[in-house]
């Protein structure tokens, strides 16, 4: 998955979400299926935990409002005490490398929302990698959604 391919991508809206509403409680579940090299974005009022797979190749995201500021906060499971450290290192490296593609997919998939609430295109993005190893349990700043608007509709 070196680049984002809109033809290998789909968006589904679930209960509690439309292409333009809501802002708070708008949750994203972005999954990657390696067998088909496809990305699937589910937008709803809750995370789509029913689509979790063994590999845990998904990204969860939500809008957080704190002290008069709004940010897009993303969560990625790297591993826990059941996951070998070398596997976590590989997962961490892969997610870091592919993060621009994933963010491009999320920005592309929710383009109606960003058009409606255009100021959020300048909101900061934070990616929280979850791991039981401190070197992989990190939070990274990933600029703003507007940076990932590389494909115009």
Return d(Cα 105, Cα 6) in angstroms, integer.
Answer: 8
Q: State residue 51's pLDDT score.
A: 83
- The span from the CA of 45 to the CA of 24, in Å, is 9
pLDDT, average across residues 54-82: 90
Residue 4's alpha-carbon distances to 30, 92, 94, 104, 109, in angstroms, are 13, 19, 15, 7, 11
- CA–CA dist 153, 96 (Å, integer): 26
> Over the chain, what is the mean pLDDT?
92
**What percent of the chain is predicted at pLDDT more than 70?**
95
In this predicted model, what pLDDT tens digit does every residue of 7-22 receive, in sequence order?
889 999 999 999 999 9
Q: Tell me, what's the pLDDT at 134?
A: 96
Predicted TM-score (pTM) of this structure: 0.92
């Amino acid at each position: 998955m070196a680049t984002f391919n809109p033809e290998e991508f789909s968006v589904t809206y679930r209960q509690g979400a439309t292409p333009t509403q809501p802002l708070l409680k708008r949750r994203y579940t972005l999954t990657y299926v390696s067998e088909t090299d496809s990305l699937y974005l589910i937008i709803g009022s809750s995370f789509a935990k029913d689509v979790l797979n063994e590999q845990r190749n998904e990204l969860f995201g939500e809008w957080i409002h704190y002290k008069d500021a709004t940010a897009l906060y993303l969560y990625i499971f790297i591993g826990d005490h059941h996951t070998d450290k070398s596997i976590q290192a590989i997962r961490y490296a892969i997610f870091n490398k592919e993060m621009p593609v994933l963010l491009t997919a999320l920005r592309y998939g929710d383009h109606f929302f960003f058009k409606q609430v255009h100021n959020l295109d300048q909101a900061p993005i934070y990616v929280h990698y979850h791991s039981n190893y401190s070197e992989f349990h990190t939070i990274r700043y990933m600029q703003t959604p507007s940076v990932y608007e590389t494909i115009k509709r």
